[in-house]
Structure 1
Amino acid sequence: MTIEDKDEAEKCIEVAQIAFAAGNVEKAERFLLKAERLYPTAKAKEFLTRVRAAASSGTERKRTPPTSPSSSNEEVRKRRPNHQPPQREYTSEQIAAVRRINTKCKDYYEILGVTKEATDSDIKKSYKKLALQLHPDKNHAPGAAEAFKAIGNAAAVLTDPDKRKQYDLRGEEPVQQAHAHHQYYARGFESDLTAEELFNMFFGATAFPGGGPAAYRRRARSPAPREAHAGLVQLLPVLVLVLLSMMSGFFISEPVFSLTPGAKYPVPRETVNLKVPYYVKENFHTDYQGSLRRLEMAIEEEYIVGLRHACQRERNYRDSMAWKARNFGDSRQYADAQKLRTPSCEKLQSYHR
Structure 2
Amino acid sequence: MEINKDEAIRCLNIAKNHFGNGNYAAALRFTKKSISLYPTDPAKDFLEKAEKAVANEGDQKSSTNNSNNSSSSSSGPSTSSKPSTTSSEKKYTADQVSAVKKILACGTDYYEVLSLEKKCTEVQIKKSYRKLALQFHPDKNNAPGADEAFKLISKAFTVLSDPQKRAIHDAGGGDPEQRGSGGMGGGAGGFRGFHHAGQGFGGDEISPEDLFNMFFGGGGGGAFGPGFSSATFVGPGFAPHYYRSGAGRRAQFQQQRAARQQNGGTPGWTVLLQILPLLILFGYSLLSGLFTDNTPAFSLRPTNVYSQVRMTQSHQVPYYVNPSAFRSTEQSRQNLNRVEQQVEVDWVRGLQHSCNNERRERATRLNSAAGVFGIGRNEEQYQKALKMPMKSCEEIKRFGYNPDY
TM-score for both structures, normalised by structure 2? 0.26
Larger radius of gyration: 2
Instruction: Determine which structure has greater relative contact order: mean sequence separation of CA pairs < 8 Å that are 6+ residues apart, divided by chain length.
Output: 1
TM-score for both structures, normalised by structure 1? 0.29
